[in-house]
Structure 1
Amino acid sequence: MTTRPSTEDFPPPPEPDLTPAQVVARAEAIAPTLVERQAETEKRTYYAEDTHEQFRAAGFYRLLVPRRYGGYEFGVETFMRVAMTIARGCPSTGWQYLFGAAHALPVASLFGREAQDEVFAGGDFLCPITVGPTGSGVPTGDGGYVVNGNWGYSSGAPYATHFVGHTLVAGENGPRPLMFLVPRAQWQRLDDWGNGLGLKGSGSHTIRVEDVVVPAHRAIEAHVSQLPVTGGTPGRELHGNPEYGGGPLSFMLLELGVLSVGIAQGALDAYAELMRTRTTTYLPIVPRTEDTDYQFHYGEAVSKIGAAEAAVFGALRQWSETSARGAAAFTREAELRLALISKQAIALTWSAVADHLFPTAGSSAVKAGERVERVWRDLSMVHSHAGVGMFLGGKANRELARLTFGVPE
C-alpha cells in the first residue's frame, strides 16, 4: 500500500485553487474559437503560438503533471475531457495537444525520481511518445546509451519540452527494445509534416536525435506497450497516487477513442448548422430540420457518438478504479479489455460520420476546406494509426482470448 505524501513542501501550481470543473469550462470556452482557425492550422502544420500561450495560461500543460512538481494532478478523466473538447473545435489542435500533454502520466509512472526531478522541473510538460522502434542505441558501459535516429509521427513536437522514443539495442540473444527520454535541447524537429490525408495541422513532425548520450535514469530496457505494472511502478510509490501505477498501454490507446469522439462531435456541430440553414434538395422543399430523413441521420449520429463517449469515459473510470485496487489488479488481460473498448468507440464515431453525416451533408458541404470534409479526412486518419489498424484491429483480440483461456502464444 502506498501512502500519499504531504504536499506542504511541494511548489504550488500557478493557480492553487483551480478546480477540474473550471479547467473543463476553459476548454469549452476556447474550443469554438478554434473552428475558424482550422485552415490556418493546417497550413502552418501545427497550432499557433497564441493558442499555445492560451493553453499554457489555462493550465492545460500541467493537468497530469504530479503535484510534487507544481502540477495540478487532476487525473485522467479531467484531462481527457479537456482534450476531447479541444478536438471538437479543431481535430488537429486536439490531436497535437493530447499527444503532447498526455504523456506526463506514463513518464511520471514509469521513470524513477531522478529522471522526474529533471524533466518536470519546468512545471509545464509536453512530450510526444512514438512506439515504433527505429534508429540505434549503443550502451556506454555505465548503464547509459548513445542514441541516434529519426522518429516520425511525433505528434506534439512543435511545443514539446521532451521526447520519448523507442529503439533497439543489439544483444547476444537478438535485439532488445529501449525506451529513452530526452529533453528538447537534445533533438531537432524536422519540417516534414502536412502532406497526409488529414490531421495536417497536428504537429506530427519527425524528431531527429544525433549522438545523444542518454543516462541510465532516463532509459528503460523495455517497450512501453509491454511494460507490466503488476509489481508496482516508481510513480505509484513516489506520488502515492494509484493513477501513476495504471496500465500505460490501455491509457495510451484510450487516447485515440477520446479524440475520435471529440472529432465526431465537431462533425455533428457542423451538420446541425447545415440542418438549421439549408433546405432539402428534393420536393417538397422544406428546412432540413423538418425532413424525416435528415432527422433520422442526425439522430443516428447523435446516438452513436453518445454511445462512443459513454464507452470511453466508462473505460477511463474503470481504468482509474483498477489502478486504485492495487498494482496486482492491472494485469495484461485488464489492459487489453479496456483498450478494446477504444476500438469500438472509434468504430461508432466513424459510422456516425461516414454512414450518416458525410453522405447526407451535401456536395457543397464537403468541398475541400469545409468543416465536414475536414473532419471526414481527420477521422479517417485515425484508422491508419498503427494502434488502431494493426494492434486493436486484430492482435489485441487474439492476445486477450489467449490470456483469458490460458492458451500459449
Structure 2
Amino acid sequence: MTAIMNTAQHDFPDPPEPDLTAGQVLARAEAMVPELVSRQAEVEERTFYAEDIHERFARNGFYRILVPRRYGGYEFGIETFLRVSMTLVRGCSSTGWMYSLGASHALMAATMFEERAQAELFGGGDFICPSTSVPSGSAVPAGDGGWTVSGTWAYCSGAPYASYFMGHALMPARGGRPPEPLLFVAPRDQWKPLDDWGQQLGLRGSGSHSIRLDGGYVPGHLALPGVSIAEHDVSAGTPGRTLHGNPEYGGALLAFISFLNASMAVGMARGALDVYEDLLRRRTTLVPPVVPRYQDPDYQLWYGDALGMISAAEAALLNAAQQWHDISAQGPAAVTRESDLRLSAICRHVARLCWEAMEGYIMPTAGSSSIRHGERLERVWRDMSMLRTHAGLSVLLPTVAMRELARSLVR
C-alpha cells in the first residue's frame, strides 16, 4: 500500500535519507528484534527503553514514518507504521508499545491541525508525542487566544523521550450544558512526566508515565475546542488532507487508534509463537514415545492452530488498514462513522484471535518451566494480559462502539 503524495510544487526539506524506502525501514526493525529480546529485563527495570535504542530508532527513521514529507518526514503511510510496530513488539512488547504510542500521533497532528501548528510541531523532524483520549483536568481561556491547562493524565506511553503531549482537557461549562473537551498539544517545557510507572502486571517498560500540567500555557493554534480525537468527524475534509494532498491525513481516527491496539496484540502473539517454536525444537514429549516435540502430532496440531489464528489476525489487520486507505482515497464523504466503527470492529476480533491462540494453545502446552519469572514467554503473557485490560479493547469496542455500529446500519 502506497500513500498518495502531494504532487503540487513545493520546496520540501529533505529527510535525513531522501532515498530511504519503506522496505528498508521495516528491514531495520526486523534486524533489531534479537537485541530487543535480549534487553527486555533492563527495559522493565528502567520502565522505558534505553537512550541508545532511542537514538537508533531516530537514525533508522522510525520517528518520521508518519511525519509529512513537507516537514522532512518520510510519509510512508500507516501500513509501514503498523508493520514496524508489530515487529518491534515481537521483540519486546514494552519497547514496541512505547514506540508506537509515542510516534503514531504524528498522523493525528498532521490530520487535524492547521499549517501554522504543523510547522511548529514537526519542525524538529522526529515526532514523539504521547496522547490520551479521556478528558481530564481543566482548560481556561488565557485571554490572548491561548489556554491555561492544568491536570494529570495517566497512561501517557512514550513520555520519557517526548517533545509534546496531546491530551483532552475540559473547558468551562456554559449555558447549563456539560463541559466540552479541548484537544490540545502542549510543548515539553509546559509539562513534566511523573515517576509512577513500572509496578503494573505487564508492559512495565512501556514508558507509560503520567503527565502533569500545572497552569501550562497552550497557544491557540495548538488547541481545538470541542474536539475529541476518537469521535472527530473527518467527512467534511481535514486541514491535513488539503495541506498535504494525501488522503491518509483525512482518514478515520477511531479506526487508526484501533489499528494500533490490534498491532500490539499481533506483535505480542508473534513473540509468544517464536518462543513456542523454539520449545518444540529443544524439548521432548513428556510421555513415551519420547521424541522432540516438533515430531509429535499433538504439538504439531497445537502449533499449527496457533500459527493459523495469529496469521489470520495479522491478515485481517493489514486488510483493514488497506480498506482504511482505500476509503480515505475515495474522498472525505466516504469516511463515514459507519466505516470507522466497522474497521474498529475488525480490530476487536484481531485482538481476540491473538488472545485465544495464546490462552488456548501456547500457554497450556508450553509447560510451566517456560513461564518462570524472567522467561520471555512469562513476560509476553503478562504484557498481553495487560493489553486485555485496555479500556478501548475491553470496554469501549465491545459495548458502545458495537451498539453504535449496529444502529448506523439497522434503521
- So what's the TM-score if we normalise by structure 1? 0.97
Aligned residue among 13, 26, 29 for 1:27: 29
Is 1:394 the equivalent of 2:399? yes
Is 1:68 the equivalent of 2:70? yes
Q: Aligned residue for 2:163?
A: 161
Give the superposed CA RMSD: 1.2
Q: Following the alignment from structure 1 to structure 2, what is the Cα–Cα distance between the partners of residues 160 and 256?
A: 20
Question: Which letter does structure 2 place at the counterpart of 1:310?
Answer: A
Deviation at 1:3, TM superposition (A): 9.1
- So what's the TM-score if we normalise by structure 2? 0.97
- Aligned residue for 1:204, secondary structure, equals coil
Query: For the structure 1 residues 234 and 8, does the alpha-carbon distance in structure 2 shift closer, same or farther, using more than 3 Å as the test?
Result: closer
Is 1:118 the equivalent of 2:123? no
Are the equivalent residues in 1 in contact too, given 2:64–2:75 (CA < 8 A)?
yes
Q: Following the alignment from structure 2 to structure 1, what is the Cα–Cα distance between the partners of residues 403 and 382?
A: 30
- 1:26-63 deviation per Cα after TM superposition (whole angstroms, max 9, x unaligned): 11111121001011111110111111011110000000
Are the equivalent residues in 1 in contact too, given 2:190–2:217 (CA < 8 A)?
no
Q: Following the alignment from structure 2 to structure 1, what is the Cα–Cα distance between the partners of residues 51 and 96?
A: 15
Q: Following the alignment from structure 2 to structure 1, what is the Cα–Cα distance between the partners of residues 286 and 206?
A: 36
Is 1:240 the equivalent of 2:245? yes
Aligned residue among 307, 312, 322 for 2:327: 322
Aligned residue among 300, 303, 321 for 2:305: 300
Question: Which letter does structure 1 place at the counterpart of 2:363?
Answer: F
Are the equivalent residues in 1 in contact too, given 2:186–2:217 (CA < 8 A)?
no
Q: Following the alignment from structure 1 to structure 2, what is the Cα–Cα distance between the partners of residues 106 and 3?
A: 17
Aligned residue among 123, 136, 158 for 2:138: 136
Instruction: Using the TM superposition, name which of 299-308 and 140-149 deviates more.
Output: 140-149
Question: Which letter does structure 1 place at the counterpart of 2:92?
Answer: C
Structure 2 gap segments, 5+ residues each: none
Question: Which letter does structure 2 place at the counterpart of 1:220?
Answer: L
Are the equivalent residues in 1 in contact too, given 2:85–2:100 (CA < 8 A)?
yes
Q: Following the alignment from structure 1 to structure 2, what is the Cα–Cα distance between the partners of residues 385 and 281?
A: 37
Aligned residue among 198, 203, 214 for 1:199: 203
Aligned residue among 269, 278, 294 for 2:274: 269
Question: Which letter does structure 2 place at the counterpart of 1:249?
Answer: L
Q: Following the alignment from structure 1 to structure 2, what is the Cα–Cα distance between the partners of residues 114 and 210?
A: 25
Are the equivalent residues in 2 in contact too, given 1:7–1:67 (CA < 8 A)?
no
Deviation at 1:169, TM superposition (A): 1.1
- Aligned residue for 2:315, secondary structure, equals helix
Deviation at 1:140, TM superposition (A): 2.2
Question: Which letter does structure 2 place at the counterpart of 1:147?
Answer: V
- 1:221-270 deviation per Cα after TM superposition (whole angstroms, max 9, x unaligned): 21111110000000001111000000111101111111110110000000
Aligned residue among 178, 181, 202 for 1:177: 181
Question: Which letter does structure 2 place at the counterpart of 1:305?
Answer: I
- Aligned residue for 1:205, secondary structure, equals coil
Are the equivalent residues in 2 in contact too, given 1:10–1:69 (CA < 8 A)?
yes
Identity of aligned residues (%): 56
Q: Following the alignment from structure 1 to structure 2, what is the Cα–Cα distance between the partners of residues 124 and 336?
A: 30
Are the equivalent residues in 2 in contact too, given 1:95–1:202 (CA < 8 A)?
yes
Question: Which letter does structure 2 place at the counterpart of 1:378?
Answer: D
Is 1:186 the equivalent of 2:166? no
Deviation at 1:7, TM superposition (A): 5.7
Aligned residue among 204, 207, 215 for 2:219: 215
Q: Following the alignment from structure 1 to structure 2, what is the Cα–Cα distance between the partners of residues 8 and 229?
A: 25
- Aligned residue for 2:149, secondary structure, equals strand
| Runs of 4+ that moved beyond 3 A | 5-8
Q: Following the alignment from structure 2 to structure 1, what is the Cα–Cα distance between the partners of residues 8 and 377?
A: 49
Q: Aligned residue for 1:90?
A: 92
Deviation at 1:4, TM superposition (A): 2.4
- Aligned residue for 1:153, secondary structure, equals coil
Q: Aligned residue for 2:104?
A: 102
Instruction: Using the TM superposition, name which of 222-231 and 2-11 deviates more.
Output: 2-11
Question: Which letter does structure 1 place at the counterpart of 2:183?
Answer: M
Is 1:371 the equivalent of 2:373? no
Aligned residue among 266, 283, 287 for 1:278: 283
- Aligned residue for 1:209, secondary structure, equals strand
Aligned residue among 250, 257, 272 for 2:262: 257
Q: Following the alignment from structure 1 to structure 2, what is the Cα–Cα distance between the partners of residues 402 and 353?
A: 33
Deviation at 1:142, TM superposition (A): 3.8
Q: Following the alignment from structure 1 to structure 2, what is the Cα–Cα distance between the partners of residues 280 and 171?
A: 66
Deviation at 1:350, TM superposition (A): 0.3
Q: Following the alignment from structure 1 to structure 2, what is the Cα–Cα distance between the partners of residues 122 and 248?
A: 24
Q: Following the alignment from structure 1 to structure 2, what is the Cα–Cα distance between the partners of residues 80 and 379?
A: 18
Q: Following the alignment from structure 2 to structure 1, what is the Cα–Cα distance between the partners of residues 44 and 258?
A: 24
Are the equivalent residues in 2 in contact too, given 1:154–1:205 (CA < 8 A)?
yes
Aligned residue among 378, 387, 411 for 1:382: 387
- Aligned residue for 1:365, secondary structure, equals helix
Q: Following the alignment from structure 1 to structure 2, what is the Cα–Cα distance between the partners of residues 200 and 3?
A: 38
Deviation at 1:141, TM superposition (A): 3.5
Deviation at 1:103, TM superposition (A): 0.7
Deviation at 1:398, TM superposition (A): 0.2
Query: For the structure 1 residues 392 and 234, does the alpha-carbon distance in structure 2 shift closer, same or farther, using more than 3 Å as the test?
Result: same
- Aligned residue for 1:35, secondary structure, equals helix
Q: Following the alignment from structure 1 to structure 2, what is the Cα–Cα distance between the partners of residues 147 and 55?
A: 31
- 1:44-98 deviation per Cα after TM superposition (whole angstroms, max 9, x unaligned): 1011111101111000000000000000000000111111110001111010000
Query: For the structure 1 residues 275 and 137, does the alpha-carbon distance in structure 2 shift closer, same or farther, using more than 3 Å as the test?
Result: same
- 1:341-400 deviation per Cα after TM superposition (whole angstroms, max 9, x unaligned): 110000000011111101111111011111111111111111111111111121111000
- Aligned residue for 1:149, secondary structure, equals strand
Are the equivalent residues in 1 in contact too, given 2:136–2:153 (CA < 8 A)?
yes
Q: Following the alignment from structure 1 to structure 2, what is the Cα–Cα distance between the partners of residues 144 and 118?
A: 15
Deviation at 1:403, TM superposition (A): 1.1
